[in-house]
Amino acid sequence: MRFPIVSSLCAAVMLLSGCAGYHLGPANGVVAGEKSIEILPFNNQTLEPRLGDAVDQAVRENMQTDGTYRLVSHGGSDVVLTGTLNRFYREGLSFLNHDVATTENYRVGLVAHVVVRDGNSGKVLLEKDITGFTLVRVGSDLASADRQSQSLLAEDLARNITVALTEGSW
């Protein structure tokens, strides 16, 4: 009769101790929504058209979803995020069985130089290159495969930027 009670008690202790290190909210000690952020449009230095717009939208959506910072549209923010899209690259991952010169799957990547400044003093708080990537299956048309992958690429880059801002200790 004691065995079920003791085993239930041990299971409860193990479950509760596993959550001991977890805390709700942002990981960097900032109260959610306490600070505001202004995200300026990314400067696209790559040869891929419309990539800057896709990254802008994805970064804004990720910041709103995360909730660590309040999004501000014009001035008066605690921090200001700027970025430059420096490098867009495509690497072949696999090739067709009957034609080893034709790539079947690509890894598409994008490198952005991100700068975060204090909204009042202009002091640089964070400056680093952040990379995002996605996998693309070419099919019959590389151009349309690239267009379809842009939103996935922008989303991965935006997620990495958001993590650098919200979980970093800068």
126 in Cβ contact with 170 (< 8 Å): yes
Domain map (residue ranges) of the chain:
29-167
Angle (CA) 161-165-167 rounded to 5° is 110
Exposure string over 77-112, b if 16+ CB within 10 A, otherwise e: bbbbbbbbbeebebeeeeeeeeeeeebeebebbbbb
**71 vs 157: CA distance, rounded Å:** 18
pTM of the predicted protein model: 0.78
Question: What CATH number matches the domain at 29-167, 3.40.630.30, 3.30.70.20, 3.30.160.150, 2.30.29.30?
Answer: 3.30.160.150
Contact criterion met (CB below 8 Å) for 159 and 132: yes
Residue 104 has pLDDT above 50, yes or no: yes
Q: How many CB atoms lie within 10 A of CB 130?
A: 20
Greater model confidence, 170 or 32: 32
What residues have CB less than 8 Å from 44, skipping those under 6 apart? 51, 52, 85
79-95 vs 124-137, strand pairing mode: unpaired
Cα dihedral 51/56/61/67 (nearest 10) = 140
pLDDT digits (tens, 9 = 90+) for 76-97: 899 999 999 999 998 888 877 7
Give the least confident one: 27-36, 47-56, 101-110.
Answer: 27-36
Using CA atoms, how far residue 63 sits from 94, 107, 125, in Å, is: 34, 25, 17
